[in-house]
Amino acid sequence: MRFATTASFLSLAVGIASAAIKAEDLPNAIQFAMWNGDCGAKGTHTLGMMLTSRSHTDLCFPLADDTKALDVQMIEPGCRLTAYKDSLCDDYPEEGSYTEQTGCLWTDRTYKSYKLTCS
């Protein structure tokens, strides 16, 4: 019982400490939100937020179901975000399914995975 109580307090303290960290203070190469339609359009909503560090480049990561747009809020210079229709990032990226700058990446396709590459 004592261990469970101590573990609960520690997890609460870590959660509070991590909540105070601003996104721009994190060592991430990219930050983006997933949308179920064009970014911010009427009737659409976000499906979550993704942060990816430079140490996770060239790896394939899943996106939330029904992701149709990626709102890139921060991307390091020299990095590229590519969205894929396949869940294993093994299809050829179509025109407009990648970006190297902030803003909305929307092509009215459903994306299932993404990869970050940096030079």
pLDDT digits (tens, 9 = 90+) for 46-99: 999 999 998 999 999 999 999 999 999 999 999 999 999 999 998 887 778 999
Whether the predicted model's global pTM rises above the 0.85 cut = no
Region 10-18: what's the mean pLDDT?
43
Q: CA 14 → CA 1, 5, 30, 45, distances in Å?
A: 20, 14, 23, 29
